[in-house]
Amino acid sequence: MGDFDQKNEPERRPAPENTDTTLTFSQEFAAHLAAIDGDVTAEEQEAIAALPSGSALLVVRRGPNSGARFLLDADLTSVGRHPNADIFLDDVTVSRRHAEFLRSGTVFEVKDLGSLNGTYFDGTRIESARLTDGSEVQVGKFRLTFYASRLDLAHLASE
């Protein structure tokens, strides 16, 4: 019976060393994030902070769906008035197949699909544009702000 008792005892392992998982930013980078996040609600800040690497968030700032949030976590996300669009924006100013958000690793791009009213990046009509944290994309009368994963931004800032 002595052998049986030893087999059922849990294996004793040394305690793991404390691992610090806190992200630290340079003052310049922290100021940049604070400026962008200044117009963000506490709830939105939590959602942005929780974004995993390789994802991003679009927040509708103007338009019928103001306040709505859309997660970008696929290599291709379609936007339009078509019921099958990944991001359905129900307004006549939005084409059925208006634009696409494309992801390559941790880099995001918006591409207009020949829409009637165009797609705008920070106020300029574009065919395609690489997205940066805090940039604004306009699709029809909807204005969406792009927020990249804070993990990805921290990684870029440390390079």
- Mean pLDDT score of the chain: 85
CATH number at residue 146: 2.60.200.20
User: Which domain covers residue 123, as residue numbers?
Assistant: 58-159
Report the pLDDT value the prediction gives residue 81, as an integer from 0 to 100.
98
| pLDDT for res 11 | 61
User: Is the residue at 17 inside a domain?
Assistant: no
* Domain-located, residue 20: no
pTM: 0.75
pLDDT digits (tens, 9 = 90+) for 35-52: 445 578 899 999 999 999
Q: Which of 77, 76, 71, 79 is nearest to 149 (CA)?
A: 71
32 within a domain of the structure (yes/no): no
Closest CA to 78 of 115, 31, 132, 33: 115
